[in-house]
Structures are given as structure tokens and as C-alpha cells.
Structure 1
């Protein structure tokens, strides 16, 4: 088995991966925020050079981890590989994030590199089924979780977000490009008469989403925002959502009275 490379975005997951695999090569792309030290920096416009570098350092497996935004491409900086691939890239850029991610994976695989899912490298980070921490959700909370999944399933073809908030069957917010925090901030400003009971934040992957590079995740900041929004808890798709910084996340949820529950049906 060859060496592992971690292509890092922002957040706690790349850090957790680098700690679990200290011999991994740490790679970042220009313009992508990250929280790692001792990384090798590359530009998206120079993918050919990145591939050459990975192979020269014995890399055969690649894991994408952390939040990544669409790169701002400079056509004048394209290396020969990216110039040749440009028509495929430009077509993918005109579609949703899922299509762009699939193309990027394909490009890596065409170079003989195996894509490793981050959640398989740190399986203990995946949400388990049932109550994970906090108070036991009531029947309404669980019904809202299923209603949230129904909403996300209907929205999946539109390639929007991975989360929503439901209270008494009513949708209070849908995650879009702005992300989870923006949605929860919006929900926190919802007038009380529009949700007479505490709602549930539902997090699940989109239908057909490639979980090797884009598995949904929550962490301490999510828990804090859920509490600030006055919600009862968080319902996660069991086995298909990551809990990052697990000890701190679960401890914070318990201290704030926020349940985290893994739902198998989601």
C-alpha cells in the first residue's frame, strides 16, 4: 500500500485525519482556508504538477477533507494538463457542486489514485443510531426529524443544502449556499408565534451525494448555534454524518440540553 495524501480544506476534519495518519502528505490548494501546519501548497490551475508531485512522493491514496469552496480560476495560469481538461472543467463549473466534485474525483482516479473516504479513515467520527448525547427526543422531535428528511429528499434534485429546521411539521429554514450557521441565525430570529415548540435541526446527505469527499458534518459551533436558536436538538442520518471534535461536541450538547440523535431512516 502506498502513501496517503490529505487534500485539506477548512475545519476540524483534516486536523483529525492528520493526527490519525501522521505520515500522510498534507496538501492545500491556493485560496482554500485550512488549519494545518507543514502543508504542501498547490494551485488548482496546476493540477498536472500536483499529480506529478504526488506520484514522486509515493502517494497512491488521496482523502479530501474539510470545507472547500469553488476555486477562482486564472486561465492564463493553466498548466498543460488543466488546459487539456478545461472543456470538462468549464462544463462542470456551470453545474452544481456535486457535478464539479465528481469530475475532480474522476481526474484523480484517471491518474491511478484511489480516493479514500475520510469517514472510513476515522470511522469513530460517524454518527451512530439512537441517542448519542443529551435528553431523549420526544415523539414530536422524531416526527420533525422525519419531516425534515422528506423536505431534504424533495430538494435533492436541486443540489441545495444538507440541512433544514422543522418544528411541529413546519419548515423554519433550509440550508443553502450560505451554510448551516447562516440558516440557524435566520431561525433564531423567527418570531415565537411561528414556532410554539422547540424545533429540530436535521442534517443528512443529499440523494446521490458522493460521501467520499462531501459527507455532512457537525461540530461544537453547530451545537452552540442550535442552542442559541432555541431548538431542542439535532437529528443526524446515522452512519452518514460526521461528528467532528467528538468529545467536545458531545460534552457541549449535553451541557446545553441539546439532544444529538442518529436516525436510521434518514
Structure 2
């Protein structure tokens, strides 16, 4: 009987996916602390792990949640995994996107198909539309500017978000993540030239050319709260390319804070 396995990362996404699956097998890299009960595995023993999945009848896997790079312990490699180390290390040296693609290729070559989050739970990835509030003309200009910045940074494999207010880029997302970016914006609220002008937007989107089966940007009620604390006017994201967790709670939080939520085409 065919089964699907969940490769759980950190954050709430893994538990949302687990609740949607019928008796899933859940695994996680052993340096992570997912919110679901998951059996640990190590990257250094990736091939034996794939054997275990096959023995369990797994033909599909879905990756859900944030995955931090593990510290590699060379002494722990088995001989078969050692044979694919050059491919994985080459990917790691080329950036996060290349590293993830290298790992996905290994799964596919083992006959285990990697499915995307929206194949499992389509409602988690909103299509085009305004979900809360209403962006004004100045907000729309800031959103377009932020989208261009994220798109331009894509080839550099830097991040998946930016904050723009009154046409100025206040911050871009890097390794510390969205919360750290918004905390920076909160601390530097005085950078906006017109105190009475547009409050600014947080924009999120996948990197151009990103493999969308893994590492899609994610927002939720916590993001709304952080954006409100940073003094922003709304959150904008690329329609069909960003995961929205706890949609109703996020919309309620946005309405309460006076923020708009816009899934932008």
C-alpha cells in the first residue's frame, strides 16, 4: 500500500500538514524540533533513510516547515551515502536553493516523489485577491517596488521578503528570517520620510526559479502581529506562491490591527 511521508521542519506548517494526511509517517532531521512527533534521521545516513521509507511503502514525501542546515559529521557517513556527498556538498556551496534541489533529486532518484504543500492542502496557498482591508494607491506602488526588489535579489539566493515604505526599501529578508527583518523595521521607524505618509508593506514571494515543492514562504497570525508592531500598513504576497497558515485567525488579526492582506497577482 502506498504511503506518504512528512519531512517535518520547524514552525506550525508541519502540524497543519500532518492533520490533513491519513496516518502519515513523520520524520525530521535530528537537529530540528518540529511541532509534530517525528522520527529523527541524519543527512549523513540519507541512503539508509531512503531505504527505510521504501520498506515502509512510502512513494511520496512532502516537506513542511523551516529547515536549518545541519552540521555535517563526516565520520557518520555510510558508504552508500558517501557516494552522493559530492553532489550534496556542491549544492550547499552554491546556496540554499541548490542544496535543496540536490536533496530533492536524491529522493526522486530513489523512486520517492516529492509533492508540494499545495498538492496536499491547496487552501493553504491563496490565489489572487484581497483578504482583509484595502490597499490604497500608495500601498500598491510600495508593493510593486518590494516585488521588484525580491525578484532582483532572487539570483543571489538571499531571501524571500522585503519591506518598502513610501518607495524606500527599509529592509530585506536574509538568513535570520522575517521576524528579525520586521524587528529591524520596528527599531528604525524614523526612516520613513513622511510620518503621515504610507505606512509601508511587507512583501513575500518565492525566489524566481525556485523549486516550489519545498521552502515556500509562509505567513500567519504571528506575521500579522509582527507587521503591526513594525508600524506597517499591510502584508502583500505573490498569489499562488505563499503559504497562509490559520487563514481565519490571520484575517481576524489583520482586521483588528487595521492591516490589509493582499494576495497579489
What's the TM-score once normalised by structure 2's chain length?
0.96
Determine the structure 1 residue equivalent to 2:90.
91
Cα pair distance change 1:195/1:189, threshold 3 Å = farther
Cα pair distance change 1:32/1:193, threshold 3 Å = closer
Confirm or deny: 8 A CA contact 2:166 2:192 kept in the other structure: no
C-alpha displacement at 1:22, in angstroms? Answer: 3.1
Confirm or deny: 8 A CA contact 2:170 2:191 kept in the other structure: no
Within 5 Å, give how 1:94-243 maps onto structure 2. Answer: 94-133=93-132, 135-192=133-190, 194-196=192-194, 197=197, 198-243=199-244
Partner SS for 2:232 = coil
Residues 197-253 of structure 1: per-residue CA shift (max 9 Å, x gap): 300111111101111011111011111110000000001101111101222222111
Determine the structure 2 residue equivalent to 1:51.
50
CA distance in 2, matches of 1:19, 1:76: 37
CA distance in 1, matches of 2:81, 2:193: 50
Residues 50-81 of structure 1: per-residue CA shift (max 9 Å, x gap): 11110111000010110001111101000122
CA distance in 1, matches of 2:172, 2:191: 19
C-alpha displacement at 1:46, in angstroms? Answer: 1.0
Give 5+ residue unaligned stretches, structure 2. none
CA distance in 1, matches of 2:10, 2:193: 33
Cα pair distance change 1:74/1:253, threshold 3 Å = same
Residues 59-110 of structure 1: per-residue CA shift (max 9 Å, x gap): 0001011000111110100012221111112212211100000000000000
Q: Which runs of 4+ in 1 moved over 6 A?
A: none
Q: Does residue 81 in structure 1 map to residue 77 in structure 2?
A: no
Give 5+ residue unaligned stretches, structure 1. none
C-alpha displacement at 1:127, in angstroms? Answer: 2.1
Partner SS for 1:32 = coil
C-alpha displacement at 1:193, in angstroms? Answer: 5.2
Confirm or deny: 8 A CA contact 1:98 1:209 kept in the other structure: yes
Let me know the Cα RMSD of the aligned residues: 1.2
Q: Does residue 13 in structure 1 map to residue 13 in structure 2?
A: yes
Partner SS for 1:202 = strand
Determine the structure 2 residue equivalent to 1:28.
28
Confirm or deny: 8 A CA contact 1:167 1:195 kept in the other structure: no
Partner SS for 1:7 = strand
C-alpha displacement at 1:179, in angstroms? Answer: 0.5
Partner SS for 2:130 = strand
CA distance in 2, matches of 1:98, 1:81: 24
Confirm or deny: 8 A CA contact 1:48 1:80 kept in the other structure: no
Equivalent pairs, count = 262
C-alpha displacement at 1:191, in angstroms? Answer: 4.1
Residues 145-204 of structure 1: per-residue CA shift (max 9 Å, x gap): 111111111111111010001111110110011100111000011142534230011111
CA distance in 2, matches of 1:106, 1:195: 48
CA distance in 1, matches of 2:155, 2:106: 24
C-alpha displacement at 1:15, in angstroms? Answer: 0.5
